[in-house]
Amino acid sequence: MPAVNYRALRPLRTLALVGALVVPAGLTACSYNENLGRQQVLLVDPSALSQQGAQAWAQMKQTSKVSNDAAANARLRRIGGQIVGASGLGGQAWEYAVFEDSSVNAFVLPGGKVGVTTGMMAFAANDDELAAVLGHEVAHVMANHAAERYSQSALAQVGAGLVGAATQNAEGGVVQALGRYAAPALQVAVLMPHSRQHELEADRIGLDLMVRAGFSARRGVELWRRMAARGGASTPAILSTHPSDAARVQQLDAYIATRGYS
């Protein structure tokens, strides 16, 4: 996958300061997301992240090679446009790019920037499979996942800081260890599971989008099924920000059956 400067996308010091002011006061910026059917805690306006997304996108296009394959780029824009049209987000400008990279990957940045690797373009056997990928990425935008992740990171940093401050002068190995390992524990127990939740939410919304756009959900899921069939070493699910391919396929199959998708 093209190298992304995620530091440019994570104004965590600012968010941590906001979180430090919000949490002690007992205030939360809760909003209901109809696409998710749940409440979200957002300490930053999703639209405020567009500038960071644009900066990272420009950097990526300078540091990573953009494919000049006219057919691949036209295919990406065509299917991406259909998915965006189904999402109701066509009012904002979307930009797509195929990056020359053999890894099978795709990503979305705040502000409607969608990147797909040549490896993914080749791996997607048909338009339905590519629509499943793009539906997933557009779903992240509909779900405000970037803003939610930033907010979770800020709150986790605040929590780790408070634990560290409370334990730095404490005696006893157990208490000191709690302070020392607070941040990594929060990373595993809070941030990563939420990220996996985001991925599965994007999968489900993405299926809805591709069906609305006229693609086959069942054919699209074959992409994840073939990924699972590749096997090989993988990161343990508890330490991964993405669900395993097998878990993803299982949940998508169940969702397709529930919705009656073809």
* pLDDT at position 179: 45
Per-position pLDDT tens, the chain of length 262 = 444 433 333 333 333 333 333 443 334 467 777 776 776 776 666 666 788 888 889 999 999 999 999 999 999 999 999 999 999 988 888 999 999 999 999 998 888 999 999 999 999 999 999 999 999 999 988 887 777 777 767 666 655 555 455 555 555 554 444 444 445 544 444 445 557 788 888 999 999 999 999 999 999 999 989 988 876 555 566 556 677 778 889 999 999 999 999 8
* pLDDT at position 146: 75
96: which strand partners?
114
* pLDDT at position 161: 55
Q: Rounded to an integer, what distance in angstroms lies between the CA atom of residue 197 and that of residue 134?
A: 18
Q: Taking a C-beta distance cutoff of 8 angstroms, is the pair 64, 117 a contact?
A: no
Domain boundaries, the chain: 6-259
95: which strand partners?
113
Q: Taking a C-beta distance cutoff of 8 angstroms, is the pair 245, 104 a contact?
A: no
pTM (two decimals): 0.70
Active site residue 222: no
Strand 113-117 to 95-99 pairing = parallel
Catalytic residue among 137, 148, 199, 201: 137
